[in-house]
Amino acid sequence: MHEWTICSAFVATHNHFVLERGGKVFKHSALIIKLPKDASEEQHVRLLGLLNSSTACFWLKQQSYGGGGDPLGDDGARVSAEPWSERYQFNGTNLARFPLPSAYPLQLSREIDGLAQRLATVTPMAVAASGVPSRERLAAARDEWHSTRARMIALQEELDWQVYSLYGLLDEELTAPAGSVPELKLGERAFEIVLARKVKAAEAETQWFARHGSTPITELPAHWSDEYRAVVERRIAVIEGNRNIGLIERPECKRRWASEGWDVMQAKALRDWLLDRCEAPELWYQHVDGLEQPRPLTTAQLADELRRDADVLTVANLYAPGQDLGKVIADLVADEHVPHLAALRYKDSGLAKRADWEQVWDLQRQEDALPDEAAKREFRKGIPVPPKYASADFLKTSYWRHRGKLDVPKERFVSYPGASRDGDPSLLVGWAGWDHGEQAQALATLIVAREQEDGWAADRLLPLVAGLREILPWVRQWHGEFDPEWGASPADIYAGFLAETTNRLHLTDEALTSWRPPKATRGRRAKQ
């Protein structure tokens, strides 16, 4: 039995219903439509087309609460500059009252659905996911993406006009004859031509064309067939003369087809492909005395490793033509890492919240150690709810983006600022895919290497030692059992190493917990 679901965003400027064919999990606020279990795919598709029509958009907006537009203000506030940018709350209660016609636009719905599925296979992200995104593969996909999207725009226009007839809003059939419908660019739909003419005549002002990257036209394109031209001319006349249709055939009810554009999507796809290659597990481990150990790398060293991969060089040249791979990798990693140590991640306000979280974690570990569920439930009542983080608690916006209000790690790399070897100014990073034991091992290895091989004194080693102290409770939680390969528990080994290191370097707990990175200083302008 198939698990089909029609779903939409709860808040949006327009109706954007999609058919989920199984496997997706939606947020609690998503608008979900479930048909009876025995409903066919065809029944889902025909309803999907109807719900995505301009008529449905008009009806939903009359029934729904609107407020707040696209972020247009200089301060990032939501400002409804024009009606089509205003956002509405489309909820299930209102949707349940949506009136259904006696017939559906099945054929057009099926065609548009098929094109939508095809479009998803020729995006830059899909190209990158199916193999190396070469120049040739991307160029072929780009042409098909533009063509498929233009065909979808044209057929959506046919569907909108067919639905008017299905609801009795038109006394005539104004869909174009089969085979006469050309691919359409944004700006070539009937309502857009009407709007462009009003703008030219100074009868209207709008950002519709500029915001959607379309070109306003006031005359019908010459390459259209006579049949299609006649249909569009009649549609324009109806928009201008039929009040009901004129209320719907306007930007606030017509599909926006808003898109980042191919170039932006391609840059993102190439970036993600390169970052995925940077995360290849084999880069982040080395074998020492027959054992696999985590291996931190500076971005320069990572670039040197990747230079051996011809595919990486090809894609990097597409992503950043002419740039040295070392700079490309450094730029890619710059916003994809989060430092290993709390003092390198948070401002003072964030560190205060982190202390509250650490107290809660300690209490939770005590709860886990209790013998029975009843005792655990009673103990749990005394555990406070820790505070949520805000963007202002983090030292960099990118750290906040990866961690969020609950400080859940989503970054690709863990970084060790200031821990690169002398002579290599590039950032030292590790793989965020390491478990806590491997992260502790990486820190211990770095401490030994910097002290014994590079001659670092205690003040330079302190942040690394503090990082090991900070992660040790998690090593104890997840790697506290005896490991026959190690001959002891990893937690005991690293706890012993930490104790020996702090004693040798004369580092107290207070020194480790109070360390802060030096504040950045701005140089004074030289006197003339």
**How confident is the model over 441-491, as pLDDT tens digits?**
999 999 999 999 999 999 999 999 999 999 999 999 999 999 998 889 999
Per the structure, the complete domain to which residue 446 belongs is given by: 435-519
Q: Hunting for tokens 């990572």 — which residue is that?
A: 302
CB contact burial 403-412 (16+ within 10 A = b; e otherwise)? beeebeeebb
Residue 72 confidence (pLDDT): 36
Domain assignment present for residue 259? The answer is: no
Higher pLDDT, 298 or 37: 298
Q: Which of 512, 440, 509 is nearest to 478 (CA)?
A: 440
Residue 23 confidence (pLDDT): 66
Number of domains observed in the structure of the chain: 2
Residue 6 confidence (pLDDT): 92
| pLDDT confidence tier of residue 528, bands split at 50, 70 and 90 | very low
Q: Which of 143, 139, 145 is nearest to 122 (CA)?
A: 145
Q: Of 235, 253, 271, which one is at a domain's C-terminal end?
A: 253
Residue 78 confidence (pLDDT): 41
CB 191 within 8 A of CB 254: yes
- Summarize pLDDT for 363-385 with one digit per residue, the tens: 999 999 999 999 999 999 999 99
**Which pair of tokens denotes residue 93?**
């209660």
| pLDDT confidence tier of residue 77, bands split at 50, 70 and 90 | very low
Least trusted range by pLDDT, from 24-28, 31-35, 36-40: 24-28
- Summarize pLDDT for 273-295 with one digit per residue, the tens: 999 999 999 999 999 888 899 99
**Ranges assigned E (strand) in 245-320:** 285-288, 291-294, 297-298
Q: Of 253, 270, 295, which one is at a domain's C-terminal end?
A: 253
**Rounded distance between C-alpha atoms, residue 112 and residue 159, angstroms:** 9
**Which pair of tokens denotes residue 241?**
């003369």
* Mean pLDDT, the chain, integer: 93
Residue 91 confidence (pLDDT): 86
Domain assignment present for residue 344? The answer is: no
Amino acid 420 reads S
Q: Is residue 151 predicted with pLDDT exceeding 90?
A: yes
Q: Which of 425, 473, 472, 202 is nearest to 327 (CA)?
A: 425
**Rounded distance between C-alpha atoms, residue 147 and residue 149, angstroms:** 5
Q: Of 224, 253, 282, which one is at a domain's C-terminal end?
A: 253
Residue 22 confidence (pLDDT): 74
Domain assignment present for residue 283? The answer is: no
Higher pLDDT, 261 or 76: 261
% the chain with pLDDT above 90:
86
Domain assignment present for residue 222? The answer is: yes
- The secondary element (H helix, E strand) that includes residue 480 is none
- Summarize pLDDT for 421-438 with one digit per residue, the tens: 999 999 999 999 999 999
Residue 76 confidence (pLDDT): 39
- Torsion sign (Cα): 387, 389, 394, 400: positive
Backbone angles phi, psi at 143, to 5 degrees: -60, -45
Q: Is residue 71 predicted with pLDDT exceeding 60?
A: no
Least trusted range by pLDDT, from 9-18, 156-165, 188-197: 9-18
Please state the rounded mean pLDDT for residues 186-213: 96
Domain assignment present for residue 413? The answer is: no
Domain assignment present for residue 106? The answer is: yes
Domain assignment present for residue 20? The answer is: yes
- Summarize pLDDT for 483-525 with one digit per residue, the tens: 998 889 999 999 999 999 999 999 999 999 999 999 876 654 4
| pLDDT confidence tier of residue 249, bands split at 50, 70 and 90 | very high
Please state the rounded mean pLDDT for residues 14-24: 86
- Summarize pLDDT for 335-369 with one digit per residue, the tens: 999 999 999 999 999 999 999 999 999 999 999 99
Domain assignment present for residue 297? The answer is: no
| pLDDT confidence tier of residue 209, bands split at 50, 70 and 90 | very high
Residue 31 confidence (pLDDT): 86
